[in-house]
Chain A
Amino acid sequence: MPQAFAPEQTTTPSAPGGAAPLIAFHDVCLTIAGNEILRDISFEISRGEFVCVVGPSGCGKTTTLRLISGLMHPSSGQVTFEGRPVTGPRQDVAIMFQDYGRALLPWRTAAGNVSLALESLGVPRSERADRIQDLLVKVGLKGQDKRFPNQLSGGMQQRLQIARCLAQNPSVLLMDEPFGALDAMTRQALQDEVLSIVAATGATVFFVTHDLEEAVYLGDRVIGLLPHPGRVAKTVSVDLPRPRDQLSSRETPQFLHLRRELFDFIKEAEA
């Protein structure tokens, strides 16, 4: 993937000296109906960083993503975006859901689904058709524009969701186990596409997954959460060089070491 070179991708996980973080959690707690979901979550995400979140089920991975998106709000503490508290969804923050079957409009064609984002952004009708074609080509859905979501495979539906997210020209991509329901080959292909898209756009990514290898392969940094209540228990920096390769990156000693470290962490958590 030669086009995947981009200066943003070489930034180290820790924020460059002095620069304010793009997203920050300050002692975030969340209690819903007496259930403590999250306790004292604090971490920062720099601009252009690719942060993956792992942890056993029920640890609040998706909840942290929803707090960043503004679809949910903390009970106490603060989530900030560019230094200001998050009050609600922003148009430059795109969310990609795991359940593509529900997140796409079944009555709109592939082109129509991408168009939804453009319409919401107020893109004039005359410009939409070209942008839609560009986006569909970019995610590998060339020629599928007139098909409905239920005519597309799971992988293609997820590509369509990527296209809709990209239509927002997002500075931040929030991805909630986007490839969890896909087969291994499709998943790897989409992982590489996300990496090259991110490299090309310089977007910041917050990526929730239960696949530890995926987290290491994609991320600049992996945050491990523990459940009952959800809290940050581990943070590892991934210093694998970019662009990454499905075969060679996964065979490096660092990769195997990080995978082992996270594996032990999860095993300990579930013991």
Chain B
Amino acid sequence: MTGWRWFWRLASFVVGVGFIYGWQMIADAKLISPVFLPGPDRAWAALLRGFHSGILEPKLVGTVQRMIIGWLLASLLGIALGTMIGVSPRARKIFGPTLEFLRPLPSSAIIPLAIALFGLSEGMVLGVIGFGALWPMLLSTVHGFGAVEPRLYEVSRALGMSKLSVIWKIALPSSMPDILAGMRLGLTVSLILAVVGEMLTGRDGLGNWILLAARSFRAPDLYAGVILLGLLGYVSAQALAWVESRLLRWRAVAR
């Protein structure tokens, strides 16, 4: 079936190239004013220019840092809280409904609250990222703990395992697929909130760069920032997928 795989890979490549080509055609035909829509050529040039002049790099670094620190914060907290709630079926019942209520709450809704608490600071941005990315991680951990094969708990009792090693050696690895799915969602949320946070607080980063570019009609710069964010999202998702395939190797092996 490798032939088919190459076919699909080629097809996806054609779609990508077609998209860029179509964009170029529309821009060249000036269907939309070049003030608002530069072609991919100008956007690419702006991207290179941004890196050559050394302006773009610190902004990229800033956004990446915010995203990753916020995400790690949320992951640690989410998995720890999820474990505490997940280990006890009673705690799952007690906290479950409240968590389900808090989860769909858009994180942007708590931004005003966060600004009131922390001001327009770095801490506020990280707090919002942490809050937003926490839920998928927390809930997937709780869910994963709820889905542990009961037989394995009997095995652990028969072996006289301590509560802590049951969590570490049975419940957590068993929940790992769920937790990683939550972390993937959390990563997307982190990127979104990092950008929104930068736009609101004016902290140096890609979000702020895009906003300022738009306000001063530097459309190529704006698109360069958007392209960079797209790449960032893609690369981080791929990196996590790689980690996932390593950690969940036991699932991929031939059945």
Interface residues on A, range: 20 to 34
Most-contacted residue by chain A among B165, B250, B254, B255 (CB, 10 A): B250
Is B109 in contact with chain A by the CB < 8 A criterion?
no
* Contacting pair B165 A89 (CB below 8 A): no
* Contacting pair A120 B253 (CB below 8 A): no
Closest approach, in angstroms, between the C-beta of A269 and any C-beta of chain B? 29
With A97-B151, A102-B151, A103-B152 in contact, is A120–B250 under 8 Å at CB? no
Closest approach, in angstroms, between the C-beta of A67 and any C-beta of chain B? 14
Is A119 in contact with chain B by the CB < 8 A criterion?
yes
Interface residues on B, range: 20 to 34
Partner of B255, one of A88, A93, A121, A150: A150
Q: Closest B-chain residue to A95, C-beta based? A: B158
Closest approach, in angstroms, between the C-beta of A169 and any C-beta of chain B? 12
With A105-B170, A119-B169, A148-B253 in contact, is A99–B161 under 8 Å at CB? no
Is B160 in contact with chain A by the CB < 8 A criterion?
yes
Closest approach, in angstroms, between the C-beta of A82 and any C-beta of chain B? 17
Is A212 in contact with chain B by the CB < 8 A criterion?
no
With A102-B151, A116-B169, A151-B254 in contact, is A107–B159 under 8 Å at CB? no
* Contacting pair A105 B161 (CB below 8 A): no
* Contacting pair A102 B160 (CB below 8 A): no
Q: Which B208-255 residues have a C-beta within 8 angstroms of A?
A: 248-251, 253-255
* Contacting pair A116 B159 (CB below 8 A): yes
* Contacting pair B250 A106 (CB below 8 A): yes
Chain B positions 139 through 150: 1 when the CB is less than 8 Å from some CB of chain A, otherwise 0:
000000000010
Q: Which A214-259 residues have a C-beta within 8 angstroms of B?
A: none
* Contacting pair A120 B160 (CB below 8 A): yes
Residues of B within 8 A of A108 (CB): 173, 250
* Complex-state Cα separation, A120 to B156, whole angstroms: 9
Partner of B160, one of A71, A89, A97, A107: A89
Closest approach, in angstroms, between the C-beta of A116 and any C-beta of chain B? 7
Residues of B within 8 A of A107 (CB): 173-174, 176, 248, 250
Is B157 in contact with chain A by the CB < 8 A criterion?
yes
Chain A positions 75 through 113: 1 when the CB is less than 8 Å from some CB of chain B, otherwise 0:
000000000000011110111010100110111100000
* Contacting pair A89 B176 (CB below 8 A): no
Q: Which A91-148 residues have a C-beta within 8 angstroms of B?
A: 91, 93-95, 97, 99, 102-103, 105-108, 116-117, 119-121, 147-148
Sorted from nearest, which 3 A-B pairs have the closest CB atoms? A120-B159, A102-B151, A148-B250
Give chain A's interface residues, CB within 8 Å of chain B: 69, 71, 88-91, 93-95, 97, 99, 102-103, 105-108, 116-117, 119-121, 147-148, 150-151, 168
